[in-house]
Amino acid sequence: MRLLLAAALTVSVAAGWIWSATDDGTESVSIGRDPADRTTLGPATIGTNAVLGGAPFPDAVVSALDGTDVSTADLVGTPLVVNIWGSTCGPCRRELPDLAAAHAVYGDRVRFVGISYLGASEREEAFARERGVTYELLYDTNGEFITAAGVAAFPVTLFVTADGTVVEQTGVLDEARLSQLIEDTLL
């Protein structure tokens, strides 16, 4: 019995190794009834974010730490850098000091706002402040802004003109890229 189990395990491992060595990372999916009607898909990924370039800045209600409701429409009027983040997101944590550094350089000409996808809490606020963040922090406790912006993966940074048009959106940023985007899209 042990010999049969060992042989089955060896065959399974070998078959899996051979299959993975010949797999090109794509899969074909039949679209219609005709087997010739096939398309190739890339590898499966986590959900993607909606593309907002050229769209109006999403209008939703978020809250301040004290629970005061804030309409995101009220943020429009000066160029904006809006970072959607959360303390449970590793890449978000790593980019907060870069956002803080860019704020120190451009904060007199561009309004920086952080919108956390987590609920308002002293812990979340302290987390950002410990990483040098001094700009305005808001909280999307009920997910209204995240839904309106079509965000599925974090972090996301939106670059918004004074008239409320999203002109750029990115994932993870460092200070150099952030500065370049501010110079190219907002100033």
pTM over 0.75: no
Written as six digits, the tokens of 89 are 């997101």
- CATH number, domain of 89, equals 3.40.30.10
Overall number of domains in the chain: 2
In-domain check, residue 51:
no
Q: Quote the CA–CA distance of 93 and 24 in Å, as a whole number.
A: 34
In-domain check, residue 55:
no
Q: What is the pLDDT of residues 7-58, one digit of tens each?
A: 444 444 444 434 334 434 333 333 333 344 333 333 333 446 677 677 899 9
- Kindly state whether residues 28 and 67 are assigned to the same domain: no
In-domain check, residue 96:
yes
- Kindly state whether residues 119 and 157 are assigned to the same domain: yes
- 19 lies in which domain range? 2-41
Q: What is the pLDDT of residues 78-119, one digit of tens each?
A: 999 999 999 999 999 999 999 999 999 999 999 999 999 999
- In the block, which residue shows the tokens 């309004």? 111
